């Protein structure tokens, strides 16, 4: 199938005619060709978005909400198609994960529609007698959106839906390895009959298309979700513009000596193996008190062997599919080898699986006795790994958490609420879960990294991105 970009209300090829072949990480089959856009394609999309910006901004919030609800209606009608496309293009298990992401996609579009209706200003007092001051929220104009491959529907929806709901037009470029899923999502917006130019999709290499979208003076704000290294490049290119950056994470998931170990194991299964560990909220390291470390490690390894089934993601019995691309699989290779070389013990997994359609299948891996400074415990592995690091209690858990350059999310398991709250007070992360997995979040709540970390700037979730996508205009009435 020859997929196309969506610009100014029309499906078009790249201006150069260049294409790339999309290959499924699950089956190795070709999913068709995707346009390989370049800077000229991005500029054309930005021009289309600028042309449409005035009319879209003048449409009432309720009028925009009706169109966003129409997008959600189309997504619901195309649920099966979208889920299967996600499985083939990204690798998520169809029944265990893909349908859930499509359903979450609906939630984001409907939530943004309603949040847009409620987006209001203020009526502060004026210093002048007989005058009135109005603070009115205005859309910034054109928002550039750059999204990753691990959640090809959820991540774009977190940004595009609130950008549109708050009166902006959008130019979007997705990660190339899940461009087919992006085209499928753009097809839902096209079917919903949004005005031409309101949503524009340009596929192509990030250093080219993404850089142009971030750098071009035709975009007024830039929103990015992805790795820390790429986020820094985007921030540099977008200097002077409003930016929203949601970047990398490194857990941790902390298990104190008084924790309910069964509950902690459940949390670790979700933290480490949802989306095959390819999530910024993954439990990239497990900090477990020495008093319970051996017991916890044995329970977790047993649960992995009994409940995590690596396999064909189209098989209903599969709970974990392949990794999405060769780069993340190679990082798993390196981090596991580094940990073992430095004294870690492999309790389960530990090497790439064989006998599958591609070499991207990595089994759920549990390591114990991992040094606190090993790559698997300090860097973002982005794979199905549970590296267990022994700690001596709450103070060390706080120390190791804050020693990380990341500051996105942390979780702690403890029977002592005061200890859990003390942990939340002391750690520099944007989100803390107490007796919940690192992969637990709620879509309407603000999510993002703490200042001074490598985890980003601003907040996604619910109406919170609208703080970056709008600005206050002061109006004085004499």
Where do the structural domains in the chain lie, given as residue ranges? 5-247+458-477, 253-442
Cβ neighbors of 69 (< 8 A, separation 6 or more) are: 109, 110, 113
Q: How confident is the model at residue 386 (pLDDT cuts 50, 70, 90)?
A: very high
**Whole-structure pTM value:** 0.97
Q: How many other C-beta atoms can be found within 10 angstroms of the C-beta atom of residue 229?
A: 11
- Average pLDDT of the residues in 427-444: 97
Q: In what order do the strands lie in the sheet with 142-147?
A: 10-12, 5-7, 199-201, 169-174, 142-147, 221-225, 242-246, 456-457
Encode 351-361: b = buried (16+ Cβ within 10 Å), e = exposed.
Answer: ebeeebebebb
pLDDT in tens, 128-185: 999 999 999 999 999 999 999 999 999 999 999 999 999 999 999 999 999 999 999 9
Q: What are phi and psi of 378, to 5 degrees?
A: -120, -25
Cα–Cα distances (Å) from 324 to 86, 124, 145, 304, 476, in that order, read 11, 51, 21, 21, 54
Question: Is the C-alpha dihedral spanning 290, 296, 298, 300 positive or negative?
Answer: negative
Closest CA to 93 of 386, 311, 353, 306: 311
Model pLDDT, residue 417: 98
pLDDT in tens, 17-67: 999 999 999 999 999 999 999 999 999 999 999 999 999 999 999 999 999
- Average pLDDT of the residues in 2-15: 98
pLDDT in tens, 319-356: 999 999 999 999 999 999 999 999 999 999 999 999 99
Note if 246 is an active site residue: yes
Model pLDDT, residue 141: 98
Residue 340, Cβ density class (10 Å: 0-12 exposed, 13-18 middle, ≥19 buried)? middle
Q: How confident is the model at residue 97 (pLDDT cuts 50, 70, 90)?
A: very high
Note if 280 is an active site residue: yes
Cβ neighbors of 65 (< 8 A, separation 6 or more) are: 113, 114, 116, 117, 165
pLDDT in tens, 69-83: 999 999 999 999 999
User: Which two structure tokens, joined as six digits, stand for 108?
Assistant: 């984001």
Model pLDDT, residue 205: 98
Alpha helical stretches, state H, 34-98? 39-58, 61-77, 79-90
Give the architecture (CATH level 2) of 253-442: 3-Layer(aba) Sandwich (3.40)
Set 246, 284, 379, 436: catalytic member: 246
Mean pLDDT score across all residues of the chain: 98
Residue 388 C-beta-side C-alpha neighbours within 13 Å: 29
Model pLDDT, residue 133: 97
Residue 177, Cβ density class (10 Å: 0-12 exposed, 13-18 middle, ≥19 buried)? buried
Cβ neighbors of 283 (< 8 A, separation 6 or more) are: 251, 252, 253, 267, 268, 271, 272, 386, 411, 437, 438, 439
406 vs 430: CA distance, rounded Å: 10
- Average pLDDT of the residues in 384-390: 98
Q: What percent of the chain has pLDDT over 70?
A: 100
What's domain 5-247+458-477's superfamily in CATH?
Answer: Aldehyde Dehydrogenase; Chain A, domain 1 (3.40.605.10)
Set 97, 212, 280, 284: catalytic member: 280
Please report, for the chain, how many H helices and E strands are present, in that order.
Answer: 15, 19
Model pLDDT, residue 170: 99
């Amino acid at each position: 199938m020859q997929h196309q970009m969506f610009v100014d209300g029309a499906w078009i090829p790249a201006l150069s005619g260049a294409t790339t072949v999309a290959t499924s990480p699950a089956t190795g089959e070709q999913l068709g060709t995707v346009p390989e856009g370049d800077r000229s394609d991005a500029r054309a999309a930005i021009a289309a978005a600028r042309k449409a910006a005035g009319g879209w901004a003048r449409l009432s919030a309720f009028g925009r909400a009706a169109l966003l609800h129409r997008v959600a209606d189309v997504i619901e009608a195309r649920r099966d198609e979208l889920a299967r496309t996600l499985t083939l293009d990204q690798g998520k298990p169809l029944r265990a994960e893909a349908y859930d992401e499509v359903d979450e996609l609906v939630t984001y579009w409907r939530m943004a529609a309603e949040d847009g209706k409620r987006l209001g200003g203020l009526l502060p007092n004026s210093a002048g007698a007989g005058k009135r001051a109005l603070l009115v929220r205005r859309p910034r104009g054109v928002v550039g959106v750059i999204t990753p491959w691990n959640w090809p529907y959820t991540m774009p929806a977190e940004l595009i839906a609130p950008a549109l709901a708050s009166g902006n037009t959008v130019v979007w470029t997705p990660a190339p390895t899940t461009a087919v899923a992006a085209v499928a999502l753009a097809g839902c917006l096209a079917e919903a009959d949004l005005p031409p130019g309101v949503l524009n999709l340009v596929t192509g290499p990030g250093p080219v298309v993404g850089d142009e979208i971030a750098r071009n003076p035709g975009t007024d704000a830039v929103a990015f979700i992805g790795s820390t290294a790429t986020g820094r490049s985007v921030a540099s290119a977008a200097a002077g513009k409003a930016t929203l950056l949601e970047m990398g994470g490194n857990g941790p998931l902390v298990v104190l000596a008084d924790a309910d170990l069964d509950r902690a194991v459940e949390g670790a299964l979700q933290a480490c193996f949802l989306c095959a560990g390819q999530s910024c909220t993954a439990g990239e390291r497990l900090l477990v008190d020495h008093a319970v470390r051996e017991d916890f490690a044995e329970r977790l390894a047993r649960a992995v062997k009994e409940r995590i089934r690596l396999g064909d993601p189209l098989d209903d019995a599969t709970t974990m599919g392949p990794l999405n691309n060769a780069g993340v699989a190679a990082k798993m290779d390196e981090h596991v080898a580094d940990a073992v070389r430095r004294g870690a013990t492999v309790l389960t997994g530990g090497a790439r699986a064989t006998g599958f359609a591609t070499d991207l299948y990595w089994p759920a891996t549990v390591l114990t006795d991992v040094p606190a400074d090993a790559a698997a415990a300090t860097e973002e592995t982005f794979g199905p790994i549970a590296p267990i690091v022994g700690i001596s209690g709450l103070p060390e858990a706080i120390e190791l958490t804050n020693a990380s350059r990341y500051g996105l999310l942390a979780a702690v398991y403890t029977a002592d609420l005061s200890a859990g709250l003390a942990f939340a007070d002391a750690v520099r992360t944007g989100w803390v879960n107490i007796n919940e997995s690192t992969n637990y979040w709620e879509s309407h709540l603000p999510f993002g990294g703490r200042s001074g970390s490598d985890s980003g700037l601003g907040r996604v979730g619910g109406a919170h991105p609208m703080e970056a996508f709008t600005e206050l205009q002061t109006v004085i009435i004499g």
